[in-house]
Amino acid sequence: MKTNFAIVLLSGGMDSCVCTAVANQEYRLALLHVNYGQRTEGRELRAFNEIADFYHAEKRLVVSLEHLQVIGGSSLTDRSMPIPEAVEGRMQPVPAAAGSIPSTYVPFRNAHLLAIATSWAEVIGASKIFIGAVEEDSSGYPDCREIFYQAFNKVIEMGTRPETRVEIITPLIHMKKSAIVRRGVEVGAPMHLTWSCYQSSEKACGRCESCALRLKGFNEAGVKDPIPYQNA
Amino acid sequence: MKTNFAIVLLSGGMDSCVCTAVANQEYRLALLHVNYGQRTEGRELRAFNEIADFYHAEKRLVVSLEHLQVIGGSSLTDRSMPIPEAVEGRMQPVPAAAGSIPSTYVPFRNAHLLAIATSWAEVIGASKIFIGAVEEDSSGYPDCREIFYQAFNKVIEMGTRPETRVEIITPLIHMKKSAIVRRGVEVGAPMHLTWSCYQSSEKACGRCESCALRLKGFNEAGVKDPIPYQNA
């Protein structure tokens, strides 16, 4: 019998879907989706809703932020900047120069997501916030690092009511993409319902940074990716 | 000659107005206002714009968050909850029971404000974020404490690009309200343009927690509050 709620940040991508499956093993689900002006916003929302239906989530909250697009600074929200593609013939995304962050980085985005999750957690009495961030085998965003989540846990402790106990959980943080695929299969995550492509909402492009990372994970895990791709 | 930008969180209240005046001494101003469904939203926005005009602010950004109202849990955004009033005959707000937080606390609100300020700072290259939070002589909100801002500075360091340097500055954090009034007079802050009342948008009610704290500050400083009150 599950008694406590966990909030899961569910973009609708593979990692957040596996994260939802993991949270579902121990917690009642309160699923949170945030639109922030990213190109494939509508397609991601559909994935969110289908995954939430799959799990019969007790609570769901969809939030739209206009200001991340207004503030800009990212190719994910600014249609005038190109989305980087993976280098031809390699399944890895364009390697970032040492210390540089890809143009798809949305400045400090995950802090916005966690702030929303924390406010919601405080009101509904959820004890955990799950986020499917991946540190090493990923795009190198600074707000996907474990030290960022550790620091944010301190902010939650200091910035909420004394009786509030909310903790961020990052079950995938040090996993390779292939291990995430295998974990997803193990826990029965509905990966056919997910969407990862940054570029397209019909069939996945297979070439953007996010598609490339996902396909590499499936390839290395020896599992067939169940979603449709343009060149498949 | 001022070269660096500071973002100032300017609600339109007295504290944030004094904070703007302080920031203006050293920095170019990028003023940020957030509507979050609070009752006197329109009146606060007018105060923001009039203060921004007063300072000829180079940049201004107004953000509307719907989700804090949807998430609820505060008498400031939930019209069905009463706004607490100061106890009759005393200028102090209703004292919170030990360890309890007043109903006007909007769960984790300041984390949302700081996340927006940080994203904007990272994009425009601002080096400071000023916020007029007051710890002791205030309503006792957990996200108005210095340790919260110290923890948030760590989150900014961990969650932004390696080359980004943004620091939260809280020039009023340990000041009494009366000292803030005196500081405002010293630096020429346009206090006649500010709005603090939680309850009313015409004349300030003079009775809510926020009016009571403000009036107490002016009284103790021996300065006449220049804004109109209902019973004055």
Average pLDDT of span A27-49: 94
Q: Is residue A215 part of a domain?
A: yes
Distances, alpha carbon A224 to alpha carbons A112, A181, A194, in Å: 34, 10, 14
| pLDDT greater than 70 at residue B87 | no
A118/B101 CB distance under 8 A: no
Q: What is the pLDDT of residue A232?
A: 66
Residue B178 lies inside a defined structural domain of this protein: yes
Give the per-residue pLDDT at A85: 81
Q: Is B140 exposed, middle or buried (0-12, 13-18, 19+ CB in 10 A)?
A: middle
Decide if B115 and A119 are in contact by the 8 Å CB cutoff. no
Residue pair B54/B31 in contact (Cβ under 8 Å)? The answer is: no
Q: Measured between alpha carbons, how far is A138 from A145 in angstroms, rounded to an integer?
A: 10
- The answer to whether position A212 is within a domain reads yes
Which residues form the domain of B161? 5-221
Give which of B108, B135, B145, B146 to mutate to test A binding, by max A Cβ within 10 Å: B108
- Banded pLDDT at B82 (limits 50, 70, 90): confident
Taking CA atoms, A208 is separated from A84, A91, A102, A192, A205, in Å, by: 6, 10, 12, 19, 7
Q: How far is B47 from chain A (nearest CA, A)?
A: 21
Contacts of B26 (CB under 8 A, 6+ apart): B2, B6
Q: What is the pLDDT of residue B84?
A: 85
Confidence of residue A84 (pLDDT cuts 50, 70, 90): confident
- Cα distance from A116 to chain B (closest Cα, Å)? 7
User: Residues A31, A71, B12, CA angle at the centre, nearest 5°?
Assistant: 95
pLDDT, tens digit, 9 for 90 and up, residues B36-65: 988 889 999 999 999 999 999 999 999 999
Dump strand ranges (E) for A92-192.
128-130, 167-169
For residue A146, the 8-state DSSP code is: H
Question: pLDDT tier at A87 (50, 70, 90 boundaries)?
Answer: low
How sure is the predictor about A94, in pLDDT bands with cuts at 50, 70 and 90? very low
Is the CB of B148 less than 8 angstroms away from the CB of A158? yes
- B157: which 2 tokens? 């360091």
Please state, rounded to an integer, the average pLDDT across all residues of chain A.
92
CA neighbor of A60 nearest in space, from A21, A109, A8, A25: A8
Dihedral, B4, B23, B110, B112 alpha carbons, nearest 10? -30
Q: Tell me what pLDDT residue A37 has.
A: 87
CB contact under 8 A, B99 and A67: no
Asked, for residue B107, whether it belongs to a domain, the answer is yes
Rg (CA), chain A: 17
Stretch B25-39: mean pLDDT = 95
Q: How far is A123 from chain B (nearest CA, A)?
A: 6
CB B77 within 8 A of CB B38: yes
CATH number of the domain enclosing A199: 3.40.50.620
- Whether residues A71 and B151 touch (CB distance < 8 A) is answered with no
A89, burial (CB in 10 Å: exposed 0-12, middle 13-18, buried 19+): exposed
Q: Is A155 within the bounds of a domain?
A: yes
Kindly indicate the confidence band of residue B83, based on its pLDDT and cuts at 50, 70 and 90: confident
Task: For residue B118, give the chain A residue with the closest CA.
Answer: A108
Interface with B, mutate which of A76, A113, A152, A155 (most B CBs under 10 A): A155
Going by pLDDT thresholds of 50, 70 and 90, the confidence category of residue B96 is very low
Check whether B86 has a pLDDT greater than 80. no
| Residue A142, domain member (yes or no) | yes
Cα gap B162→A153, rounded to integer Å: 21
- Tell me the backbone φ, ψ of residue B152, rounded to 5 degrees: -70, -35
Residue B99's pLDDT is 58
Distance (Å, rounded) from C-alpha A112 to C-alpha A211? 24
Residue of B nearest to A152 (CA): B155
Q: How large is the average pLDDT for residues A16-34?
A: 98
Residue A228 lies in a domain: no
Q: Give residue-wise pLDDT tens across range B107-151.
A: 999 999 999 999 999 999 999 999 999 998 888 899 999 999 999
Contacts of A154 in chain B (CB under 8 A): 151, 154-155
Q: Which residues of A touch B118 (CB under 8 A)?
A: 107-108, 111
B228 domain-assigned: no
* C-beta atoms of A123 and B107 within 8 A: yes
pLDDT band, very low/low/confident/very high, at A90 (cuts 50, 70, 90): very low
Is the pLDDT at B98 greater than 60? The verdict is no
pTM, full prediction = 0.93
- Angle, helices A109-124 vs A146-159, to 10°: value is 40
The mean pLDDT value for B179-202 works out to 95
Angle made by CA atoms B193, B198, B200, in degrees to the nearest 5: 75
Could you give the C-alpha distances from B184 to A76, A154, B132, in angstroms and in order? 42, 33, 12
Question: CA B223 to CA B210: how far, in whole Å?
Answer: 17
Nearest to B67 among A63, A72, A156 (CB): A63
Residues of B in contact with A64 (CB under 8 A): 66
Report chain A residues whose CB lies below 8 A from the CB of B163. Answer: 99
Pairs across A and B, CB distance < 8 A:
148
Once rounded to an integer, what is the mean pLDDT over residues A124-128?
Answer: 97
* Residue A222 buriedness (CB in 10 A; 0-12 / 13-18 / 19+): exposed
Report the pLDDT value the prediction gives residue B165, as an integer from 0 to 100. Answer: 96
* Contact (CB<8Å) B115/A115: yes
Q: Which helix (H) or strand (E) holds B207?
A: none
Q: How many domains does chain A have?
A: 1
- Which residues of chain A lie closer than 8 angstroms to B105, CB-CB? 161
DSSP 8-class letter at A82: P
pLDDT at residue A91 in the model? 41
pLDDT at position A46 is 97
Say if the Cβ atoms of A109 and B119 lie within 8 Å.
yes
> Which is more confident, A1 or B190?
B190
Contact A160 B151 (CB under 8 A): no
The SS3 of residue A23 is helix
Please report, rounded to a whole number, the percentage of residues in chain A having pLDDT higher than 70: 94
pLDDT, mean of residues A139-154: 95
Mean pLDDT for B172-198 is 97
